[in-house]
Amino acid sequence: MQFICKTATLNQYKSDCTVIFVDPKAALSTAAKQADDLCEGALTTAIQAGDLKAQTGSTLWLYSPNGNAARVLVIATHNKTAAPKQSHLVDIEALRELTQATAKALITKDIAHASIHLDTLILEGITAEALAHEFSYSLEHATYRYTATKPSHAPLPQLKKATFAHDNKDSVKLLKAGTTSGYATAKGVNVARELGNLPGNICTPTYLAQQAKKLATNCTVLTTKVLNEAEMKKLGMHSLLSVSAGSDQPAKFIIMEYKGKTTKAPNVLVGKGITFDTGGISLKPGAGMDEMKFDMCGAASVMGTFQALVEMKAKAHVVGVIAAAENMPNGHATKPGDVVTSMAGKTIEILNTDAEGRLVLCDALTYVERFKPKSVVDIATLTGACVIALGHHATGLYANQQSLADQLLASGRATHDRAWQMPLWDDYGKQLKSNFADLANIGGRAGGSITAACFLSEFTKAYPWAHLDIAGSAWHSGGNKGATGRPVALLLNYLLNNA
């Protein structure tokens, strides 16, 4: 989408639709009265008739025979719990309701250009920059449609342009900054959604590598390097390679480096990129196995975050590493009971080949030591146990430094891409003892998400590290099946705040 921010009064410029915000329980503002006049009193009539509900996000369509826009979209801002001084959190939640309601309404109509008058929206504690960020994010996010393998898809939204109008020129400067960040974040989230939604016969490790290279094309601040299996073997990544041993698809190790006008030590992202997970010899049940195409959503979130960094020309130094492989059973596949040696030199007894994510991540976490990172965050659809513990709302968070955990938790709250901290105690790590190797790759049913994190922690002693288990938050099942693009927003907020 194209976003324009300008100083403008109601009805000053032409568009397909004018969007204003009205509290049905309050007196009409000057702009609302003007809109009412353009609609020949229809707004007042509709409010008196109860057609505009006094509930935040309620919508009303009016026609404006005398205006520069044929339609007026009225969004209700009333909050029945409003107090004389609302908290910032309440206002942010109300704002998100308003932006999502606006986006949903606009994309259902044959509207190519909407003029959204943000000066008609006043929320306590919310800056013009925050307004523009949330609106541009919601509008860009709402225009995404998966079409790659569905030629019979519903028509794409007509909305291609949004003008954020304000009667204060100083506010317009802030609107521009917020629009840049909001659009870039949504663009990154949508990239992650698209990669996650692609089927495993298209989105292979090789495809992921190609997309990473494509992103770096003609981009002076981003470089991409891809290691093949021979190069990984030379580095000693036998744990990672044990996962791809049963697949005809070769593993790929993708290294992306974004240098945006800074030479400081990088923050590093590590993404699990299992493009399809059968469980290997420890075969998964057939029901629901189609959703294992989403097992690369950690990698997708890294790609989406880098897309956003490029879009906003962020002043940050970030390294992204993706361990991409397909977990399949054949005569060469790794077997339960096999012992492999990781890049760190630790031996691992593989008790369950379906606990493969930690096997690719441990070598990636060892590899990134060479960057002398400021922090390392890995993102993985790692355990079904995390879904049982936290459901589908929160991402599981583990960290070896509390300050890092606090920063990520704060970023989750700020973006509504929330995480919940879980324990990382030595007591759980004892479950990974093996009679035949330094570590077992599983620790039993009890605390499965925690023991998986404990396994990874054995390879992260050299730097501040956090693990995000997104098994519950990376995609939706059922009739609304599809990738969510989480936790791109959380990661981007964290990186920008710690650049």
Distance CA 424, CA 446 (A): 14
User: Average pLDDT in the 453-466 region?
Assistant: 98
* 188: enclosing H helix or E strand: helix 169-197
Share above pLDDT 90 across residues of the chain, in percent, rounded to a whole number: 89
User: Average pLDDT in the 225-245 region?
Assistant: 98
CB 249 within 8 A of CB 205: yes
Distance CA 21, CA 61 (A): 12
pLDDT at 85 over 70: no
pLDDT at 266 over 80: yes
**What's domain 2-189's architecture?**
3-Layer(aba) Sandwich (3.40)
Most confident option among 21-30, 151-160, 486-495: 486-495
Distance CA 435, CA 349 (A): 9
| Res 392: pLDDT | 97
Note the Cα 448 to chain centre separation in Å: 24
169-212 pLDDT per residue, tens: 889 999 999 999 999 999 999 999 999 999 999 999 999 999 99
User: To 10 degrees, what angle do helices 488-497 and 297-311 make?
Assistant: 50
Q: Where are the domain boundaries for CATH 3.40.220.10 in the chain?
A: 2-189
E strands present in 103-166: 113-117, 161-166
pLDDT at 2 over 90: yes
Residue 284 appears among annotated catalytic residues? yes
Output the CA torsion 28→30→31→37 (10° steps). 80
Provide DSSP, 298-330: HHHHHHHHHHHHHHTT---EEEEEEEEEEE--S
Catalytic residue among 284, 346, 374, 413: 284
Q: Where are the domain boundaries for CATH 3.40.630.10 in the chain?
A: 198-497
| Res 152: pLDDT | 85
User: Average pLDDT in the 267-289 region?
Assistant: 98
In this prediction, residue 86 has a pLDDT band, given cuts at 50, 70 and 90, of very low
Distance CA 210, CA 65 (A): 52
309-329 pLDDT per residue, tens: 999 999 999 999 999 999 999
E strands present in 8-149: 15-22, 59-63, 69-76, 113-117
User: Average pLDDT in the 363-383 region?
Assistant: 98
Provide DSSP, 342-407: -TTS-EEE-S-TT--HHHHHHHHHHHGGGG--SEEEEEE---HHHHHHHTTT-EEEEESSHHHHHH
Catalytic residue among 71, 187, 293, 358: 358
3-state helix, strand and coil shares in percent for the chain, rounded to the nearest 5: 40, 20, 40
CB 19 within 8 A of CB 116: yes
pLDDT at 76 over 90: yes
Distance CA 47, CA 14 (A): 26
| Res 90: pLDDT | 54
pLDDT at 126 over 90: no
What CATH fold (topology level) applies to the domain 198-497? Aminopeptidase (3.40.630)
pLDDT at 400 over 80: yes
Q: Share the mean pLDDT of the chain.
A: 95
Cα→Cα distances 202→48, 164, 196, 426, 471, Å: 55, 38, 11, 41, 22
Which stretch of 57-61, 77-81, 230-234, 381-385 has the lowest confidence by average pLDDT?
A: 77-81
The first and second tokens of residue 58, run together, are 């309620």
pLDDT at 79 over 70: no
- Longest pairwise C-alpha distance within the chain: 83
Note the Cα 470 to chain centre separation in Å: 10
Per the listing, tokens 């096997």 go with: 359
| Res 364: pLDDT | 99
